[in-house]
C-alpha cells in the first residue's frame, strides 16, 4: 500500500484490518502499567504548567504517540487527517509529486528508491540518498509526514532538494519539477525469441489482473508461441499484500504462497494458491524473476513463493529484506495507527526479514558505471534503526560474498554499451531463457 501522494513513507506489505477503535482497549491495560502511565501524565502536567511557551494539547498527545511508535520499529506510524486520506486514496493509481519512496532514519529522510520514470529519478535522485533540506530549509528531525507534506505541490512546480550521498564529500542540490505520477503498475513487451517481459513497478490495486492481462496480450503478440517469461520486480518497494498473493497465485497450481504470523496465534494467516486464480496461467512456461536491493516487501513475497515452490528461477541481487506486516488500526474517525503486527514467511518457513531473498543466480548490474560504488554503499532493512531482528538472517560475510566478482561477469559498462546492452541483468535473463529454455529450473539452487 502506498503511503502518500508525493512519496511513500515506507515500502511495506500492509494488511488493512477492520479493527475497533483503539480507545476501546484502554480498559484492558494491565494494572502493573499504571505507574508508567503516571510518569507520562506527570510529564504532561509539568509541560502544561511551566514550559516556557503554552503548548496545545494536540501537540503533546501527538508527540507522545509518535514517541511510543518510534521506540518500536521503523515502519510503525501515527496517521491523521490528510496523511491518512493519502494512504487510503494512493491506491487509486495517480498523484502529483516527485515519485519517491522514503523512510526516516535517525531523524533524516532517506530514499528507499525513486519510481521508474518519475521526476525524482530523471533528476538523478538515487536509492540511499539522504534529503537534508527542502528549498534551503533544514528538515532534519522533522516528522516524516511533515517532510512529505512540504514536498507536495502542484505538477509543474519546482522544489530544490539538498542531498547527502555516501561517497561524496559535500551535499549537493537537485531541482525537481513535480509531475503527475501516473502509476503504471504493470508494463510489458515481447522480446526476440518469443520471450515476454512483464515489469511490475507497484503492488497497487488489480496488479494480479494486470499481469494476467499482460500475459494474454504477450501470447497474442507471439501468435501463441511464447517461449519464456521474465518477471521484473527490481526497484519495486512493495505495496498490497493481497496483490502479492494474487500475483503469486497466477503462476502456481497449488501450495502455500506466504504466511503471516504474529504474537496472537489466532490471527495468524496462511495464504495458499488457487484462492484467486485457478491453475498456472503461464501453463508451465519457464520464468525468471529479476530482483535487486530495491525489491522489498510484496516483491519479496512473490520472489520467495515462486522460488520455494520451484516455479521460477530468481536472478539478480539480494533483495531488501523487509519481512513485516503493518495493520491499519482506526483510532478515531480521522486518525489511525499503522502498526507492525506480524512477520511474513515464505512457503519453506524462512523469514526474509533482514536477510532478504537470495537469488538462485547472482547477476550484478554490469551496465551501471557506478555499480561498484553503489554495491559498497547499498543498504537494506537490516541497516534501519530498531528494525525487527531475525536471528536466522544473513551475516555481514554473506553480503560480502554477494559482492565478490563472479568471473562470468567481467565486461565493463563501456564494453556492454558498445554492444548496445543498456541493462545487463535483463539481457542476461533473456539470453538464459533463449539458451536454456524449459531447462531453466534445473539451474535453481537446492
Cα separation values, 138 from 160, 229, 292, Å: 12, 46, 32
**Contact of 300 with 357, CB cutoff 8 Å:** yes
Q: Which residues of 22-52 are buried (b: 16+ CB within 10 A; e: fewer)?
A: eeeeeeeeeeeeeeeeeeeeeeeeeeeeeee
**Contact of 257 with 241, CB cutoff 8 Å:** no
Residues carrying an active site annotation: 297, 308, 322
Rounded distance between C-alpha atoms, residue 144 and residue 140, angstroms: 10
Rounded distance between C-alpha atoms, residue 262 and residue 329, angstroms: 15
Radius of gyration, alpha carbons of the chain = 23
Grid cell of 39 as nine digits: 510518569
**Closest-CA residue to 15 (of 390, 325, 265, 416):** 325
Residue given cell 500500500 in the structure block:
1
**Closest-CA residue to 76 (of 354, 340, 322, 325):** 340
Backbone φ and ψ of 440, nearest 5° = -60, -35
Cα separation values, 13 from 70, 75, 234, 237, 238, Å: 19, 10, 16, 9, 6
What is the full DSSP assignment across 298-352?
Answer: HHHHHHHHHHHTT-SEEEES------EEEEEEEEETTEEEEEEEEEEE-TTS-B-
**Contact of 288 with 433, CB cutoff 8 Å:** yes
For the purposes of burial, counting CB atoms within 10 Å of the CB of 407, is it exposed (0-12), middle (13-18) or buried (19 or more)?
exposed
Rounded distance between C-alpha atoms, residue 113 and residue 124, angstroms: 11
The neighbour count for residue 76, using CB atoms within 10 Å, is: 21
Cα separation values, 374 from 237, 259, 276, 359, Å: 18, 33, 39, 18
Amino acid at each position: 500500500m502506498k503511503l502518500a501522494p508525493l512519496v511513500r513513507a515506507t515500502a511495506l506489505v500492509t494488511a488493512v484490518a477492520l479493527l475497533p477503535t483503539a480507545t476501546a482497549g484502554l480498559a484492558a491495560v494491565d494494572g502493573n502499567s499504571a505507574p508508567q502511565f503516571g510518569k507520562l501524565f506527570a510529564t504532561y502536567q509539568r509541560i502544561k504548567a511551566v514550559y516556557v511557551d503554552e503548548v496545545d494539547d494536540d501537540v503533546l498527545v501527538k508527540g507522545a504517540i509518535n514517541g511510543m511508535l518510534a521506540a518500536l520499529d521503523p515502519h510503525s506510524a501515527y496517521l491523521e487527517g490528510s496523511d491518512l486520506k493519502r494512504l487510503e486514496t494512493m491506491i487509486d493509481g495517480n498523484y502529483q509529486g516527485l515519485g519517491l519512496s522514503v523512510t526516516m532514519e535517525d531523524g533524516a529522510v532517506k530514499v528507499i528508491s525513486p519510481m521508474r520514470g518519475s521526476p525524482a529519478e530523471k533528476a538523478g535522485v538515487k536509492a540511499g540518498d539522504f534529503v537534508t533540506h527542502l528549498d534551503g530549509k533544514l528538515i532534519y528531525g522533522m516528522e516524516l509526514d511533515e517532510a512529505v507534506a512540504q514536498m507536495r505541490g502542484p505538477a509543474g512546480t519546482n522544489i530544490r532538494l539538498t542531498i547527502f550521498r555516501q561517497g561524496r564529500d559535500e551535499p549537493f542540490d537537485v531541482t525537481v519539477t513535480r509531475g503527475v505520477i501516473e502509476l503504471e503498475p504493470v508494463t510489458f513487451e515481447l522480446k526476440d525469441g518469443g520471450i515476454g517481459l512483464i515489469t511490475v513497478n507497484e503492488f497497487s490495486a488489480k496488479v494480479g489482473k494486470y499481469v494476467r492481462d499482460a500475459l494474454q496480450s504477450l501470447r497474442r503478440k507471439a501468435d501463441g508461441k511464447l517461449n519464456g517469461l521474465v518477471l521484473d520486480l527490481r526497484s519495486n518497494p512493495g505495496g498490497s499484500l493481497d496483490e502479492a498473493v494474487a500475483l503469486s497465485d497466477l503462476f502456481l497450481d497449488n501450495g502455500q504462497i506466504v504466511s503471516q504470523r504474529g504474537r496472537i496465534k489466532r490471527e495468524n494467516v496462511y495464504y495458499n494458491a488457487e484462492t484467486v486464480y485457478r491453475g498456472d496461467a503461464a501453463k508451465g512456461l519457464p520464468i525468471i524473476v529479476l530482483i535487486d536491493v530495491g525489491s522489498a516487501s510484496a516483491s519479496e513475497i512473490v520472489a520467495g513463493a515462486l522460488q520455494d515452490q520451484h516455479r521460477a528461477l530468481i536472478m539478480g541481487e539480494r533483495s531488501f529484506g523487509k519481512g513485516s506486516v503493518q495493520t491499519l488500526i482506526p483510532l478515531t474517525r480521522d486518525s489511525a495507527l499503522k502498526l507492525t503486527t506480524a512477520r511474513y514467511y515464505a512457503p519453506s518457513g524462512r523469514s526474509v526479514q533482514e536477510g532478504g531473498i537470495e537469488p538462485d543466480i547472482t547477476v550484478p548490474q554490469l551496465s551501471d558505471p557506478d555499480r561498484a560504488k553503489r554495491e559498497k554503499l547499498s543498504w537494506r532493512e537490516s541497516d534501519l534503526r530498531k528494525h525487527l531482528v531475525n536471528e536466522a538472517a544473513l551475516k555481514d560475510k554473506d553480503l560480502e560474498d554477494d559482492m565478490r566478482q563472479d568471473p562470468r561477469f567481467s565486461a565493463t559498462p563501456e564494453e556492454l554499451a558498445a554492444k548496445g546492452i543498456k541493462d545487463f541483468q535483463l539481457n542476461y535473463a533473456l539470453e538464459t531463457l533463449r539458451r536454456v529454455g524449459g531447462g531453466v529450473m534445473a539451474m535453481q539452487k537446492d
